[in-house]
Structure formats: structure tokens, C-alpha cells
Amino acid sequence: MADSKNPASLDGSPSVSALGLRWAALRGMLASPLIEADEQRSLRDELLRELQAIEQDFANLPARNAVEVSAKIDVVKTTLRQSAVEGQGWLADLLDSVQADLRQSGRPAATRPERSPANLQRSFQPRPETPAAPDADQPAVA
């Protein structure tokens, strides 16, 4: 397995995004029915250990934006749901609420009133578009 202690983004620095991609890939592998076979038990155990290490590594990396904060919350919610602690469903609900708040705060346009172009004023008066009458001095072309 690749080194989960050094998740790197494209620029080489560790990031929540890079770690999140590894976490999602491992979860996908563990969800495969092929990994449930008895002959794959050692591989499954290794994947579970790596997944747990990655989940703990999230605490050491700072989120750079609201999407990464939301990704960290997803990890916590998933772990909470899997642990199935009786009577702790409210924690996942609270985290859902925090994520919704985070999404709302990430939309600055939603907090500003929308401006209609009808409110814009012109600084000049448009010309009336009436057809020009032929001059009396000019002969009409037939």
C-alpha cells in the first residue's frame, strides 16, 4: 500500500483533498463484494488498518477551504454511523447541520439581495426611432 502518512496534492504538499481521495478509494475497495471472500481476509484487514490510519490523519491536516472542512465532517459522520453507538444519532444530525451551515456561508451571493437590471438608470436619453420625413426641397424618387 502507498504511504498514508504523506498524502500529497499535485503541488507536493499534504492536503485534506489528497487524503480524502485516498479515504474514498479505500472505502470503495472495502465495499466490493470480492473483498468479503475468505481468501481476501488478510487484504481486507490491511485495508481496514490503512483506512483507520487515514481517518486519524485528518486531524493533523488543516482544511484550506469550506469543501475540505466538509470532507473532514463526512469522515466523522461515516465513522459515527459505522460505530452505531446507541442514542448518538443526534451527533450525525448535528454534523449534517454544520455542513449545511458551511455550504450556506460559502455562498456570498445568497446573503446579498439580488439586483435586477431594471433598477439600473441610463445616463443618456435614447433617441426616438421615428422614420425621417422626406424634405420638401428634395424630389421624391419613384
pLDDT band at 126 (very low <50, low <70, confident <90, very high): low
Q: Render pLDDT for 103-115 as a digit per residue (tens, 0 to 9).
A: 888 665 545 445 5
pLDDT band at 15 (very low <50, low <70, confident <90, very high): confident
Q: State the residue for C-alpha cell 492536503.
A: 15
Q: Render pLDDT for 45-82 as a digit per residue (tens, 0 to 9).
A: 999 999 999 999 998 899 998 889 999 999 988 888 88
Contact assessment for residue 25 and residue 31, using Cβ atoms and an 8 Å cutoff: no
Q: What is the dihedral of CA 24, 29, 32, 36, to 10 degrees?
A: -130
Q: Where are the domains of the chain?
A: 8-62, 64-107
Query: Of 59, 46, 47, 43, nearest to 23 (Cα)?
Result: 47
pLDDT at 137 over 70: no
**Region of 48 on the Ramachandran plot (φ > 0 left; ψ -120 to 50 alpha; else beta):** alpha
**Region of 84 on the Ramachandran plot (φ > 0 left; ψ -120 to 50 alpha; else beta):** left
